[in-house]
Amino acid sequence: MKKLLYIIAISTILVASGCSDYLDSENLYGKNLETFYKTPTDINEAMAGVYNAIYTSNVHSEEQIAANLMDNMMLGGGGPDDKSAKWVDNFEDPAEDTYRDMWIQSYNGISRANAIIEKTQDADFTTFFKTTEEADQFKKQAIGEALFMRAFFYFRLAKFFGGVPLIVSLDGSRTVGRSTYSETFAQIASDLKLAIETMPATSFPSIPTAMYGHANKWVAEAYLARVYLFYTGYMTNIEQKATTDLPLVGGAVLNATDLTSYLNDCINNSGHALVSDFRNLWPYSYVNKSAGKTVLPWAAANNLSWVGQDGKAPTFGTGNLETMFVQRFSFGDWSWSNGNIYTNRLCLFSAIRDNSMVPFGQGWGWCTINPKLWNNWSDLDPRKAGSIIQVGIAEQGTDSYAADKGDHETGFFNKKYTALQHPNAAGNNVGMFVQMYNWSNTDMQLMHAQDFIFMRFADVLLMHSEITKTPAGMNAVRARAGLGAVGYSLDAIKEERLHEFAFEGLHWFDLIRWGDVTTAFNDSFPVRNSGTDATYNVKYRAETKGLMPIPETEVRLSNGAYNQNPGW
């Protein structure tokens, strides 16, 4: 069975309580700040605890689900009982603590990263490695990785909440007030810059399989570009304070020339590359066969072959050179505490509601697709059918689709992240990943072990074009899709990012940073709500400036240190 890399291995040491997460100095196993962080095993376990903070209990606190629900290309969906999805989709807060798990887990991750950064500095690992150089490389990777993850969590908080409390040391005050937007991004940028300067420059093909999904120098360079574009765009288009500089702690700045240098390094030296066919990134292209019958005729007709995850292809081929940073998923069991948070709930919640077909299994039907995207997208672009499930189509395996099972029904669903199944040896339809990894629990709610991709090389190329205002990176992505070259323009970048990254949790943040969010929701169109004709329309609330509400419990616990975001 696939191992989940990011486990709560450090849970006996880390005790979490909202923003006031702290390190327990006395615990049952005799590990504390003085005895831990002394060996490579200690550091690896601590790092597992950092990555574990990505996972949240409340599904609305999952970044990718929250961002997709707010995207103008996706609808609330679900059934009549899925009111929270519709509220979020309509820019209403379902509950006073809708995003509290995101807040808590982000600060848990930050606290754990702080511990690694500080304690690893003075640790001596020379006795655990053959050479001093190997020990030094391990230390640099650990510190750099922790710096990256601290930036990752602060960036997540800043995108959703704006300026947030900055706690960057183990003894830092847990009652500090919110920093400004620029101060928060200065900390993010400084952490990423130092992570780049600290981590070894090991090309991706040389990174051990066990480190697949971990951050490295190349991931930090890519994220620094993403942070640069988001900050400069937000300040220019939302705050109306035009800038082309990303601040650093201490007053220095990074500009477009600096970011171009980082991206050039990533492009030329990382070892990452585009896979040959965009559709091979997604597990629907893994053409399983049972009793001699091809499961997905469309995939077979296009000679698709999934490049896989775990750092290698299912057939142990060259593997996936495009994926750079992911959230690993495994399975779960209802007997476990939080037994479903380690399965990919984006696949479950956005899968076709109350329809169990082959290869597409059933889910809750959230995030149905805006028909405008399908209608305005050229059929010549293979990413269209490679991203969107069209129901009632035999070659798509959806000819047996039963309509009117959900709300906001448009006939289109997310193909990148969805429930996948095929017949097993006994002829029963069982989850694809369950069969791949031989997991015993076949519950449709627990079977989604697909990685969620936070960063892939295509984004590096498109960010390079946007920052340099040159078309080379954009046209490389277009050429992969069989499309002709075009000249650079921001409108061309916008269209390319929409088509390349549809439903990957990026478009909502693109709308914000470009300032397009204020006009993106001005259309309406017919939908079916559980068999009843209806009209879908959403009104974006400009006074929120694209930010979500600070969890009310955190506002109360701060005793006046936090103020609520405008519009909430």
Residue 496's nearest CA partner among 456, 466, 457 is 466
pTM over 0.75: yes
Residue 283's nearest CA partner among 403, 93, 420, 425 is 420
pLDDT the model gives residue 191: 98
pLDDT the model gives residue 31: 64
Q: Kindly provide the residue ranges of all beta strands, DSSP E only, lying in 480-531, ordered along the sequence.
A: 524-529
| Amino acid at residue number 457 | F
CB of 559 closer than 8 Å to CB of 108: no
DSSP readout, 358-407? SSB-EE--BSPBPHHHHHHS-TT-HHHHHHEEETT-GGGT-TTPPPSSSS
pLDDT the model gives residue 311: 61
pLDDT the model gives residue 175: 85
pLDDT in tens, 83-112: 999 999 999 999 999 999 999 999 999 999
| Amino acid at residue number 5 | L
What's the number of CA atoms in the CB half-sphere (13 Å) around residue 10? 32
CB of 527 closer than 8 Å to CB of 410: yes
CB of 548 closer than 8 Å to CB of 528: no
In the chain, which residues have pLDDT < 50?
1-29, 313, 315-317
**CA 405 to the chain's CA centroid:** 28
pLDDT the model gives residue 417: 98
pLDDT the model gives residue 211: 84
pLDDT in tens, 385-413: 999 999 999 999 999 999 999 999 999 99
pLDDT in tens, 140-193: 999 999 999 999 999 999 999 999 999 999 988 888 999 999 999 999 999 999
